[in-house]
Amino acid sequence: MDCRKIMLPSIIIYGLINSVILALIAMGFSLTFGISGVANFAYGGFYLFSGFLVWMLLNYLKFPLILAIMVTIGVTGLLGFVTYWVILLRVRGIALSEVIATFALGVGILELFRWMGFVTYEFTLPYLKKGMILIAGVPVDYQRLFIIGIGLGLVLFLYFFTHYTRIGLSFRGIAQNERTAISLGIKSDRTAALSLAFGSAMAAVAAIVILPLGIISINTGYEVLLIAVAVGIVGGLESVPGILVASLILGYAQVITGTYFKPEWMMVVYLAAIVLVLGIRPSGLFGKFKELEERV
């Protein structure tokens, strides 16, 4: 039957799309954490902030889409930078305070938007390009292809950025050994602030390509944090290969569950994966064993 023939390609294609979505969401969180050790719990807040910012720029100020996207990525990055200098700098090194401050900031941003009435279904972002094509008999819309493209592009960009640019190298320096890096003249605070800015900007990129698929709702913000964290736990928070592998595992597991089982079980995949990984390898599949020696 036709039905069987289309099933396998559709799982392969939609599994990949789903994996890239998860990776896009998780990458910004992991980047910040890997470099500066700051778990940016305001991540979901930043993600949603950029979604609403694009919407407001488009609808209130009538910006063209491309300009709105540029401005949003810039502003969200700046927000991350300022967050570091205004809040995190004062509590740096106290894990408790870092966690609470960023978490509170994220919740504050999300609930502020809720209070401002951003709760109905009018808040959707436009597709970058409408329409769809058939790949091996499976309909895929252009937006999802963009997501794959941008996801891959971002991974490549990060690789080259961290290996061949000054800022990128200083990121890795701080991540590997903060004190040695400082002694070599890399400014720890500046690098940490930049890492937060980068993480936030990546949240904005993820929001701009992913949000058009659905609507911008407040709960998405919490969900995004949840996804970022779940992927991080499974893959190992600070490890980029870990994030990619975990995204693939979770992404495909979800789509298979959704197709052969019931769509509503897709959320349970996270819980099952987290419980499994915690039981077997608490630091995550690719995470370094971080029980005592490290700060985390």
Within 75-104, the residues that bind other proteins by CB under 8 A are 87, 90-91, 95-101, 103-104
User: Would you count residue 3 as binding other proteins (CB under 8 A)?
Assistant: yes
Q: Which of 22, 24, 31, 39 binds other proteins (CB under 8 A)?
A: 39
Residues 6+ apart with CB under 8 A from 189: 84, 89, 92
| Tokens standing for residue 60 | 């209130």
Quick one: how far is CA 188 from the chain centroid?
24
Minimal distance in Å, beta carbon 109 to other proteins?
8
E strands in the chain: 132-135, 138-141
Give the chain's length: 296
Give phi and psi for 141, each to the nearest 5: -85, 160
Nearer to other proteins, 10 or 72 (CB): 10
Q: Out of 24, 34, 41, 242, which residue is the one contacting other proteins (CB under 8 A)?
A: 41
When asked if residue 107 is in the footprint of other proteins (CB under 8 A), the reply is yes
* Min separation Cβ 295 and other proteins, Å: 6
Q: Which residues from 214-243 bind other proteins, rule CB under 8 A? A: 214-215, 217-220, 222-223, 225-226, 229-230, 232-233, 237
CA angle 191, 243, 250 (to 5 degrees): 150
Residues 108-167 that bind other proteins (CB under 8 A): 108, 111-112, 114-115, 117, 119-122, 124, 127, 130-132, 138-139, 141, 143
The region of 145-153, 158-166, 190-198, 208-216 touching other proteins under the rule CB under 8 A is: 208-216
Q: 98-103 contacts: CB < 8 A, separation 24 or more?
A: 98/38, 98/39, 99/39, 99/41, 102/38, 102/39, 102/40, 102/41, 102/42, 103/41, 103/42
Which residue type is seen at 101? A
Percentages helix, strand, coil for the chain (3-state, rounded to 5) are 75, 5, 20
Q: Which range, of 5-13, 68-76, 172-180, 244-252, touches other proteins by CB under 8 A?
A: 5-13
140, β-bridge pairs: 133
- Provide CB contacts within 8 A for 118, sequence distance 6+: 52, 216, 218
User: Binding-site residue total for other proteins (CB under 8 A)?
Assistant: 83
**Binders of other proteins in range 259-278 (CB under 8 A):** 259, 262-268, 270-271, 274-275, 278
CB of 161 to other proteins, least distance (A): 25
* For other proteins, the closer CB: 101 or 197: 101
Please, which residue, 120 or 183, has the CB nearer to other proteins?
A: 120
**How far apart are CB 23 and other proteins at their closest, in Å?**
16
Nearer to other proteins, 67 or 89 (CB): 89
Tell me the β-bridge partners of 141: 132
